Amino acid sequence: MNRITVVQRALAGRADPVYLEVGVSRGAAFRRIAAHEKIAVDPRFRMTARTRRRADAQAAATHYFPMTSDEFFATRSEFLERRGIDVALIDGLHTYEQVMRDVDHTLRHLRDDGIVVLHDCNPRFPSVGRPAGSYAEYRAATPWWKARFLGWSGDVWKAIVHLRSTRDDLRVAVLDCDFGVGILRRGTPDSRLSCSVAQIAALTYEDLAADREQLLNLRPPAYLDDFLGSGSRPVEVLE
């Protein structure tokens, strides 16, 4: 299972669903996703004409916004309010701060039963989880072979810890596949964390490696069936 499968299953069965993808780049995911309307946001699209045709063929309408996600949400609120978002994939700049802004903005326009998917939530190696302000900064500090073959997830995982510590109205988990696929929706959490914002900011990759199952609410891919079926459950607060 990967993020594309998760998104498509979250879209299944919805009437005329609207799909938002933040961080499209070459369109590896966007071209494969089928929805009634698809919205693509990226400050530097690198999609070929063929990839765009494939992406457009999977929707009745496709909208491209060549701008940062901050600019998009600041200037296109009316566009989003007219539609609402059924499912969103957030896979843009891999920093804790940016992901939190993207999640917060997306939630304002997410339908009550909508799903947000986050990529790169479970880096398996220190180099993959190295914090950096940009991909270029990460590349400059990382041996070329690690950057090329292992990729970069940054500290996206801290957004999961933040949400699980500060929101009692969201059900949040990470599927143990495809570099960690975060999933969240409105509802009663499976369990919660008790980290302060200052504590989250101070967390390191070593903290994640020591306790990733608890910090991320890490689940096997089969958990997606239960998650998409929603359902409330008692909340356990984890120290």
230 lies in some domain: no
55 lies in some domain: yes
pLDDT of residue 236: 44
225 lies in some domain: no
Where the chain has pLDDT below 50, the residues are: 231-237, 239
Task: Name the region of 231 (left: φ>0; alpha: ψ -120 to 50; beta: rest).
Answer: left
Range of 185's domain? 1-220
Residue 198's CATH number: 3.40.50.150
Instruction: Report strand pairing: 110-118 vs 85-90.
Output: parallel
pLDDT of residue 225: 96
CA–CA separation, 217 and 203 (whole Å): 16
237 lies in some domain: no
For 58-105, what is each residue's pLDDT tens digit?
999 999 999 999 999 999 999 999 999 999 999 999 999 999 999 999
CA–CA separation, 87 and 18 (whole Å): 7
Instruction: Estimate the share of the chain in helix, then strand, then coil, as percent rounded to the nearest 5.
Output: 40, 20, 40
pLDDT of residue 154: 96
pLDDT of residue 230: 60
238 lies in some domain: no
Instruction: Report strand pairing: 37-41 vs 110-118.
Output: unpaired
239 lies in some domain: no
pLDDT of residue 29: 98
227 lies in some domain: no
Q: pTM score, two decimals?
A: 0.94
pLDDT of residue 148: 84
231 lies in some domain: no
pLDDT of residue 239: 44
Structurally, the chain folds into a number of domains equal to 1
